[in-house]
Amino acid sequence: MSLPIRNLRRPAALAASIAALFAMAVAPAAADGSDQVVMRFETAKTYVMYNADAGANASNDDFAVPVFVEPSEGGEPARNVRVVVDASGLEGVARLGDSDTCPSEGPIYTCEYGDLQNGDGESYTPLAILGVDGVEPGDSGTVTYTATADNAPTVTGTTRMTVGGPTLTAPGQEKGVSGLAPGKAANVTARLANNTRFPTKQGVALQVNVSEGVTLTALHSNCFYAGPAPTSAWCTFPTKAAAGAAYRTSAPLVYTVTPPGKLTGEVTYTWSSPSARPADHTVRGTGSPLTLVRTAAQNFGDSQGRLGITTTVQADYRPVTATVRGRVGDTVKVRLGLEDLGPGRVQDSEELGRFEVVPPEGTTVTSVPYTFEEDGGTWACDRPEKPGGAFVCEIGYDRFYEVRHEGGTTAIDFHIRIDRQVPGAKGTIRTYNPFDRTPANDVAVIPLDASPAPPYRLFEPSRHPGVWTAGALAVVLLAAVYLRRRRNANPS
């Protein structure tokens, strides 16, 4: 059983490393109730460093060396844990570079793990592995490692590091499927190319994955699946894919959107040789086996095949609107936005959609304030380039993070100034998302209900700046005439 572990450098998934089989190194066992501190490794028994066809261009620094402290009641932490990794056995099959995590002297890497708590673990990726030209698939060497602590017995472990290959490629993005209804099956034929100089001496493996809301429904006897309603399959073929050759599966991979279904989905597949079956793929198919059929050579250059799915499920948006109501001169808050009626839900990875606002004639939008991470700004929506245009409010933006609600209402306050009375004036609000298939409710009006300005506003300089400027000039002129007449009436 794996114990909690803190990754100091999270290993990336390498296609070349899917052949790794995990096994614990031999370590002293602590008796139940013992407070003895016992460490153990949980490392790969075998590990694919890189594919032979990559040669000197290959680079891999993802081989992890996890160290665990066996849990014990009242046990102490393992103190001053140090791991020494000896990679001298890789001579001829790999080069060694400088490690970012563990200092090295030649092929010897030393990792300071520090104190490890009882029942806890920690992992370093000590090796910087570089490829070499001239290797063959299956070439290998052994890495050894030793863990010591001030208060625990020393433990050792080894990993057989192999050169994999050849690299098998797929067509990348396949033609997508649109309008797939929940419960309806569709399929894709998996294709591969071996554009290297090496044949696959140990056959070929196919890994298939489908996204949430999609299920694999054709279960072949040479495939293992992750559960009875699988979203993943691992299939093996004895075919030795020839160098420079291309193949396809003898039957398509069949999948079904699961009711009530998602708006979108995806099927992906990858090829490898050799490959080990994932531990969670335990259900063997009972249908006819898949085989590989040779085709014309293909210049595939992608690591996987990908098929996008759009379903018939919709996410219906309708506008949230309100009346701009107040006196001429008022700046009022009007809450505008959209309501998500479903039944499907747009995910953050998809286009969330937007609403567009054209304010009523006789009004001016002065701001659309928003808050994001305790800060904010004046304009949550993109302003129109010309007067009378639409304010575009993309609800996927961070500016709508605080008010966005999946399966609910996303709305925000527009600050709108009423400039004048315009009888019957109406603005519009329109909603949009690519999965809305009910356009009849996408548009609503924003009525204007403007009352006359109160009398005191007639005397506000800000309301009639031109009039007040002319008045001020008149007063100055009258004052000048008056002073001139006084001087004329009283000569000195």
Query: Which residues, listed in sequence order, are joined to residue 271 by a DSSP beta bridge?
Result: 206
Whether 209 has a pLDDT exceeding 80, the answer reads yes
Q: Which pLDDT band, with edges at 50, 70 and 90, does 275 fall under?
A: confident
Segment 479-487 mean pLDDT: 59
For residue 4, the one-letter residue type is P
Name, in order, each residue with C-beta under 8 angstroms of 399's C-beta and a sequence gap of 6 or more.
370, 372, 377, 379, 380, 381
Tallying the residues shown for the chain, one arrives at 492
Q: What is the mean pLDDT of the chain?
A: 88
207, with CB counted inside 10 A (0-12, 13-18, 19+), is buried
Separation between Cα atoms, residue 190 and residue 177, nearest integer Å: 15
pLDDT band at 202 (very low <50, low <70, confident <90, very high): confident
Q: Residue 187 — φ and ψ, nearest 5°?
A: -150, 165
**What is residue 73's predicted lDDT score, i.e. its pLDDT?**
86
**Predicted confidence band at 485 (pLDDT cuts at 50, 70, 90)?**
low
pLDDT of residue 472: 54
What average pLDDT does the segment 119-128 reach?
94
Q: Which two tokens stand for residue 463?
A: 């309301």
Q: Per-residue pLDDT tens for 153-163?
A: 999 999 999 99
Burial class of residue 173 (count of CB atoms within 10 Å of its CB; 0-12, 13-18, 19+): exposed
pLDDT, tens digit (0-9, with 9 covering 90-100), for 396-431: 999 999 999 988 999 999 999 999 999 999 999 999
The pLDDT tens digits of the residues spanning 186-197 come to 999 999 999 999
Q: Does the reported pTM lie above 0.75?
A: no
Q: Are 204 and 227 in contact (CB under 8 A)?
A: no
Of the pLDDT bands very low, low, confident and very high (cuts 50, 70, 90), residue 299 is very high
